[in-house]
Amino acid sequence: MNGLSFSELCCLLCCPPCPSRIAAKLAFLPPEPTYNFIAEVNGKYSVELTARAEWQFSDHDKENVEGFYTRTQRGNKIACVFVRCSSTARFTILFSHGNAVDLGQMSTFYLNLGSSINCNVFAYDYSGYGQSAGKPSEKNLYADIEAAWQALRTRYGISPENIILYGQSIGTVPTVDLASRYEVGAVILHSPLMSGMRVAFPNTKRTWFFDAFPSIDKVPKVTSPTLLIHGTEDEIIDFTHGRTIFERCPKAVEPLWVEGAGHNDVELYPAYLDRLKKFVNVELVN
């Protein structure tokens, strides 16, 4: 009835896994930290990158990366960075990264992305990632992005209509959650997942009470313009996840389905930046 075998169905109903176990199995692989925060004045930190961060710009460009800590409602101190990519940027991207990376590894990408589409980038590490305290969990994901959102609003004075929420892979989970509760300038969902069970058991047709990351049930509440991006040959989160979320999203714009792309190489295709430039600099402006 739900696409599961009889034995799988019996196992799930008799001994259902708790959401935290599904989340831990599917999502959380924090790497060894690739950066440190060096305290300066006024609660600011410079960002010291290790060789593993693979920084591709000059040392002078690092001055455009400002670090600081904020605290979540669950008591975890999380690391955040503000990457000043453009002096004329209208929008700031609140970026929720994928699994198995941290802010250090993503710093070059952030500067490249923001410079290419004329946006500044604000990003944070999930609890237990990089220099963020605590342990990764589904509940912490939601608390982490809420704290990042509040810090972006209060510390930098960015208004919601000038914020673009960008989630990649597991980062689409907190992004959808936040976007379902706040109206923002726009939302970008890059390789999203419908829910944890639907990744673990691809034929699952409903949301079980013990499921984790139920983005599929939250995305109908997203009221901001939303761009879906997914590789058609994604080997980790099947393309059907992106397509189904697109169908459920009330304010979805023309999606970007990258023919032949997998889970980790969408950004290498020229269509990726072309579509983002059109979305940010043409569609959102008009």
Averaged pLDDT score across all residues of the chain: 91
- 163 Cβ partners below 8 Å, 6+ apart? 91, 92, 93, 94, 152, 184, 185
| DSSP secondary structure of 196-210 | HHHHHSTT--S--TT
The DSSP call for residue 52 is G
Task: With respect to residue 1, please indicate whether it lies within any of the assigned structural domains.
Answer: no
Number of compact structural domains in the chain: 1
- Each residue's pLDDT tens digit, 32-71: 999 999 998 777 899 999 999 999 999 999 999 999 999 9
Q: Provide the pairing of β-strand 45-49 with 35-39.
A: antiparallel
Task: With respect to residue 222, please indicate whether it lies within any of the assigned structural domains.
Answer: yes
In the set 97, 230, 241, 263, the catalytic residue is 263
Q: Is the pLDDT of residue 3 over 50?
A: no
At residue 24, what is the residue type?
A
Task: With respect to residue 176, please indicate whether it lies within any of the assigned structural domains.
Answer: yes
- Each residue's pLDDT tens digit, 131-182: 999 999 999 999 999 999 999 999 999 999 999 999 999 999 999 999 999 9
- Calculate what percentage of the chain has a pLDDT beyond 90: 82
- 161 Cβ partners below 8 Å, 6+ apart? 184, 185
CB 158 within 8 A of CB 15: no
In the set 169, 191, 215, 224, the catalytic residue is 169
pLDDT at 261 (0 to 100) = 98
- Each residue's pLDDT tens digit, 216-238: 999 999 999 999 999 999 999 99
| CB-neighbour burial class of residue 215 (10 A; exposed 0-12, middle 13-18, buried 19+) | buried
In the set 125, 177, 234, 238, the catalytic residue is 234
Q: Is the pLDDT of residue 262 over 80?
A: yes
What does the angle CA 5 – CA 11 – CA 15 come to, to the nearest 5 degrees?
A: 155
Range of the domain at 157: 6-283
Task: With respect to residue 174, please indicate whether it lies within any of the assigned structural domains.
Answer: yes
Task: With respect to residue 190, please indicate whether it lies within any of the assigned structural domains.
Answer: yes
CATH number of the domain to which 224 belongs: 3.40.50.1820
Q: Is the pLDDT of residue 14 over 50?
A: no
Torsion 189-194-197-201 (CA) sign: negative
Q: Is 263 considered catalytic here? A: yes
Q: Is the pTM higher than 0.75?
A: yes
Task: With respect to residue 32, please indicate whether it lies within any of the assigned structural domains.
Answer: yes
What are 94's strand-pairing partners? 122, 165
| CB-neighbour burial class of residue 257 (10 A; exposed 0-12, middle 13-18, buried 19+) | middle
Residue 9's pLDDT band (cuts 50, 70, 90): very low
